[in-house]
Amino acid sequence: SADGITPSISELDKFEETLDGPESNVSINKRKTSKNDLLSFAPGDHVEVCEGELINLQGTIVGIDGDSIRILPKHEALKDEIPFKAHELRKYFSVGNHVKVLSGRFEGETGMIVGIEGAKAVVLSDGTKDEMSVRTSDLQITKETATGVDSTGQFQLRDLVNISADKVGVVVRIEKERLHVLNMDGKVQLVPIQS
């Protein structure tokens, strides 16, 4: 009996990755395509089919019409565009791709993919050289590099800022809603961005 057993977060992550893995052709959640599914895709994205007869087929998105996404397959026998629903596709990345984070905790950050673990990618940040674990659905290939300026344009990397009336520090990282500031004691302190 499984009563009283609570799986750890790492066990849940492994279970989720197994269901999302390329060898899995089990579809637990058959659903209609939502607008949020479509918003995560854009023309030019490299994708892989994750459901149906053409599972594991890779291609590039050439257009989005209503709830249909047209891809040009990367296969010598298939030369014509093929339509799919968003839930039948997932973004496809390779180690070495330069990407931008579109949403989530690291939104706006750019970096290089250094590893792929199931539905998540490990991205080495351009600005901080820290590794970030990001869902592949939140990534897009880009040539741009994050500038290190916050969304209000108020702060930049290496700015000298007041932490309190008698303490200052240097901005070493900028996130969506907070700064990482190296204080006078040599410690990095998280400071919320106030508009």
Are 170 and 130 members of one domain?
no
Quickly state the pLDDT bin for 1 (edges 50, 70, 90): very low
Is 4 inside a domain boundary?
no
Which residues, other chains included, contact 72 with Cβ-Cβ below 8 Å and sequence gap of 6+? 59, 60, 62, 81
2 lies in some domain: no
**Number of domains making up the chain:** 3
* Structural domain contains residue 109: yes
Task: Give the residue-averaged pLDDT of 41-47.
Answer: 90
d(CA 170, CA 159): 6
Section 36-54 average pLDDT: 83
**Same domain for 168 and 193?**
yes
Same domain, 119 and 154: no
Percent share of the chain, pLDDT over 70: 76
Residue 3 lies in a domain: no
**Within this chain, do residues 13 and 85 fall inside the same structural domain, yes or no?**
yes
Structural domain including 107 reads 98-141
Statement to judge: residues 85 and 22 lie in one domain: yes
pLDDT attached to residue 143 = 85
CATH number, domain at 134?
2.30.30.30
Q: Residue 34: inside a domain, yes or no?
A: yes
Q: Is the pTM of this model over 0.85?
A: no
Average pLDDT over residues 115-129: 87
Same domain, 118 and 153: no
**Is 60 exceeded by the pLDDT of residue 17?**
no
Least confident of 55-59, 71-75, 149-153: 149-153
What does the pLDDT read at residue 8? 63
* Mean pLDDT in residue range 54-83: 93
Collapsed DSSP state (helix, strand, coil) of residue 13: helix
